[in-house]
Amino acid sequence: MIVTTLQEVTGYRVAKTLGLARGNTIRARHVGRDFMAGLRGVVGGEITDYTKMLAEAREQALDRMVAEAAVLGANGVLGVRFATSYLMSSAAEILVYGTAVYLEPVDSAAVKDAAVSEGSTR
């Protein structure tokens, strides 16, 4: 499946737009991680436990979006965006969404012939 933040993919055309595909996950902070984050806040630096947790949450949300797009019959998701919102002081939602599409390869020979007939030099 092609997943991109772009609205189009070079070499493909959108044959069919299938609708919104989205995936989300909600993660709560961990008491042990909060303690270590507090210590890190005193001395400075990256809070690697939270970095890892958010990276895993983004991947899970992406996987869920791709699965939803596949159910719709898509082979691509265009215009992908991420959003984060806090539900309460100790939990956050990661949301990823985009447009589920069915992409078809563009016949490169036909594109080249059309460009030549129009006087284009691609």
What mean pLDDT is predicted for residues 16-22? Answer: 98
Statement: residue 74 has pLDDT above 70: yes
CA distance 15 to 84: 31
Statement: residue 62 has pLDDT above 70: yes
Residue 27's pLDDT band (cuts 50, 70, 90): confident
Summarize pLDDT for 76-85 with one digit per residue, the tens. Answer: 999 999 999 8
Q: Cβ atoms within 10 A of the Cβ of 102, count? A: 16
Summarize pLDDT for 102-114 with one digit per residue, the tens. Answer: 999 997 654 455 4
Q: Which domains does the chain have, with CATH numbers?
A: 2-117 (3.30.110.70)
Q: Residue 52: is it exposed, middle or buried by C-beta count within 10 angstroms (0-12/13-18/19+)?
A: exposed
In contact, 74 and 18? CB cutoff 8 Å: yes
pTM: 0.76
Question: Side by side, which strands form the sheet with 2-3?
Answer: 2-3, 76-88, 91-105, 12-28
Q: Of 112, 85, 80, 97, nearest to 9 (Cα)?
A: 80
